[in-house]
Structure 1
């Protein structure tokens, strides 16, 4: 399950997969918007470079128009296309490699063609804006918790599967209830549960692969503690390294 906002969703699969699943129209629409996003980045860089420095706060209007998911995707693709270009910083190159972008012959069409040094600066601004969201990461999860049984655990959703309007730390916390996906290595991957931030106990589901891991107890925010208390779900007395187990 992916929560969307008013923007068109990013299609992450290859054209070959899209054809196989009869989703070619979705692929084509997303591909065209990827190209539009790349051209918009090129324009804003060109319009705000005075020959010496790049203007401030350029990332925000692009993020507002296209959303973090697509902007990150287009920029990561750009870096992946510039494999041998030393003007891309090692940090941004490492970041770009975390995006599983299908390698296809037409990817160059949504590569940002601005000067690589200026593109690198723009990527840095986008990454700073992403970090400012204060999202949970693997560093906030129990080590190797991907191999745990998720039943009754407070899980952290990968923010990239959420629409931009929902990319908040509150929306990442998901209380797993049951489902085959709770069991590591199970043939089915569905995990049923609820968003901790929602008032109603509305059951929804995600795939096991949509989660980063189990939240470590030391990072449980105060609002979540209050919510759990209101739900009359007792906290365990486990150490922080054991994560949150909610029965």
Structure 2
């Protein structure tokens, strides 16, 4: 038997392993570092990249399309893993991932960020200043849930559930969350802007890139998941 657990909260895991590109030349400039951060964000959140970025890291528009699709799938998978602890049938998991990817595509299309400046720290490191306006969509969903949006769902399941019931309950939670997100998209807004310094660093492999910790810190600002902090 299974009970309704705290696992079904809005405290989502955000340790995203989004694809990061890197450029392998040595003579990086402040302008290049800014272009690199701008392009990396644009390809991951908007699915686009300007010609200067494509040339900088020697990739094609088709590569950007694939990176963008992979980013959406990765975000969708972490969302699903946060809500569903049962083992989903493969067909059901694929369906939910596809719907969640579409959800994130709509949210990320509203991303707001500005790459403001870059400073050369030393021969191996640039510091790039980025300001992000965090998207508040999940705050709106949390408000709906606090106001009883899940009451009907909860009333239809017993406090103690079989594995089959619990799986159905988890899937309905995901579907409810997606429905509430869709309903709140026209009301989507932004929290106070946050500014962060992101490194572009030359690694031991002689490739320039964004350190994982810096990218994840930047990524965490785009959509605000800190609903109870």
Tell me, yes or no, whether TM beats 0.5.
no
With the length of structure 1 as denominator, give the TM-score of the two structures. 0.24
Please state which structure has a larger fraction of its residues in strand.
2
